[in-house]
A = this chain, B = another copy of it.
Amino acid sequence: MTKSWVNSDQGRSDPERPVGSDLHLELSGVGSRRAQLMDALRDAIRSGRLAPGTRLPPYRGLAVDLGLARNTVASAYAELTEEGWLSARAGSGTRVAERATPIAPTHPRRAAPPPRRPFIYDLLPSSPDAGSFPRAAWLTSARRALAAAPNDAFGVGDPRGRPELRHALVEYLARARGVRTDAQRIVICSGFAGGLRLLASVLPGPVAVEAYGLDVHHRVLHENGVRTVPLTVDADGARIDELTGSEATSALLHPAHQYPTGGALHPERRAAVIDWARARGGMVWEDDYDGEFRYDRQPIGALQGLDPDRVVYLGSTSKSLSPALRLGWMVLPAWLVDDVLAAKGGREVFTGVTDQLTLADFLATGSYDRHLRRMRGIYRRRRDLLTTTLARRAPHIRLSGIAAGMHAVLELPDGTEEATLRAARREGVALDGLHPYRHPDSTMPPRDGLVIGYGTPPEHAFPAALDALCRALP
């Protein structure tokens, strides 16, 4: 589209002089003549050629100039006025609206987010493969779900979350994860952190956590006034025997796949922690963050199935679909539901309805199963490439936690973690050391290692990322 603004004797319009015969707008492009006129006027205003306060010609005059019907121009003026581009006052005609003058661009006091070294390869364990988000299938579900939703879905939300999603989760979690519940005991929340925050406010006792874990989770607990007590972690998960005699009234565990060290909680310990919770009157908080991704055998079922009254099950789409969806769910004992809803405050304040409805359809139509199957294949291949590459190029380095998920721990010789991280940085590789995951109060001797996220890099970049990683190893 071309358009021009010609004012016989000056580049910018003179606000007090109504632009009349010297207003030249060339209409072209798509849409009706009215839409073309609106586009031309918006463009002239946006570019500053038509200054704030400028009086426009009466619509009759402009209609004659442009060879348009009067109604066309009048309606374009009215619409641009409603949109805020123009303002109309009786006796003063139609003018370009007084808009705020441009402000100087922001230079933050200190950079936020902090300037990061431009890494070439991202092996941080924070995210699944962002390039594999199933956009087309998600949209298909969104279309179906939005068409089918009742009007009240767009009113003030139920603090439990949409019933469509809670019902779909009951079926899916029973089938895929062995979770025993009904839709009344499920509360939708924004990701795992949202659920953790709610639990902290209703179960405030000290919480036993695994000695290696995400410090962001501990911070959420501490910010909500909850103290954390570390439990030693070995290849069979957390040492449940340490709960006996501890002050903890809850235990936050990753039974299917300890994060980050990677073990599964031993069957005897699974039974033991349920026994402890029953005897103590305590609760287990089960973080099932990547339970769907297991490569060596069938997924390990949820601990929740052993005692739905003593286990709160927490899941999310952060590993299975995308952490950017901010969608999670809590499966609660019946007796805890009211307290959690009371803490939520009577209406949904965090989680949007469109993604809830879409995920419900995505689950119910099998799209979630299909996506997980596809991703299991992708991650399994990446894991295999990681193990074979390391076996060939660094046979002295042991890998652990590779039976499941999308991260692994690479065990390093004592005292070499920091130097290895520095070397990796030089190779352009972003990754985590094991030290930051250690609970500061733990009595476990610190271990050196790297936490490698193999889900994050785009498919094509993964072999090169591994190559760079191997160059950095001691």
Interface pair B322/A154, CB less than 8 Å apart: yes
Interface pair B151/A458, CB less than 8 Å apart: yes
Interface pair A127/B112, CB less than 8 Å apart: no
Task: Kindly state whether residue A156 has any CB partner on chain B within 8 Å.
Answer: yes
Interface pair A105/B182, CB less than 8 Å apart: yes
Binds B, one of A141-149, A229-237, A414-422, A437-445: A141-149
Interface pair A146/B153, CB less than 8 Å apart: no
Task: Kindly state whether residue A411 has any CB partner on chain B within 8 Å.
Answer: no
A147 to B106, CA, bound (A): 30
Contacts of A456 in B (CB 8 A): 155
Interface pair A100/B345, CB less than 8 Å apart: no
Task: Kindly state whether residue A205 has any CB partner on chain B within 8 Å.
Answer: no
Task: Kindly state whether residue A348 has any CB partner on chain B within 8 Å.
Answer: yes
A159 to B181, CA, bound (A): 34
Closest chain B CB from A73 CB (angstroms)? 18
Contacts of A366 in B (CB 8 A): 83
Task: Kindly state whether residue A472 has any CB partner on chain B within 8 Å.
Answer: no
Asked if A185 meets B106 with Cβ closer than 8 Å, knowing A143-B139, A350-B190, the reply is yes
Binds B, one of A20-28, A53-61, A128-136: A128-136
Which residue of B is nearest A376, CB measured?
Answer: B82
A193 to B348, CA, bound (A): 11
Which residue of B is nearest A124, CB measured?
Answer: B156
Task: Give how many copies assemble into the complex.
Answer: 2
Closest chain B CB from A471 CB (angstroms)? 25
Contacts of A354 in B (CB 8 A): 138, 142, 325, 354-355, 358
Binds B, one of A2-10, A172-180, A241-249, A382-390: A172-180
Task: Kindly state whether residue A194 has any CB partner on chain B within 8 Å.
Answer: yes
Interface pair B184/A108, CB less than 8 Å apart: yes
Task: Kindly state whether residue A338 has any CB partner on chain B within 8 Å.
Answer: yes
Partner of A175, one of B99, B127, B191, B341: B99
Contacts of A82 in B (CB 8 A): 369, 373, 376
A178-212 interface (Cβ within 8 A of B): 178-182, 184-185, 190-191, 193-194
Partner of A308, one of B84, B103, B152, B177: B103
Contacts of A153 in B (CB 8 A): 130, 324
Task: Kindly state whether residue A323 has any CB partner on chain B within 8 Å.
Answer: yes
Interface pair B179/A154, CB less than 8 Å apart: no
Contacts of A349 in B (CB 8 A): 190-191, 193-194, 326
A96 to B83, CA, bound (A): 61
Task: Kindly state whether residue A378 has any CB partner on chain B within 8 Å.
Answer: no
Which residue of B is nearest A216, CB measured?
Answer: B345
Contacts of A92 in B (CB 8 A): none
Interface pair A324/B157, CB less than 8 Å apart: yes
Interface pair B100/A180, CB less than 8 Å apart: yes
A324 to B354, CA, bound (A): 8
A88-108 interface (Cβ within 8 A of B): 97, 99-103, 105-108
Interface pair A107/B334, CB less than 8 Å apart: yes
Contacts of A105 in B (CB 8 A): 182, 184
Given A138-B146, A157-B324: 10 more A-B contacts, CB < 8 Å: A87-B298, A99-B178, A100-B174, A112-B338, A113-B159, A126-B156, A155-B322, A156-B323, A190-B350, A326-B352
Q: List chain A positions with a Cβ less than 8 A from chain B.
A: 79, 81-85, 87, 97, 99-103, 105-110, 112-113, 126-127, 130-131, 133, 135, 138-139, 142-143, 146-147, 149, 151-159, 174-182, 184-185, 190-191, 193-194, 216, 219, 298-299, 305, 308, 322-327, 334-335, 337-338, 341-342, 345-346, 348-355, 358, 366, 369, 373, 376, 456, 458
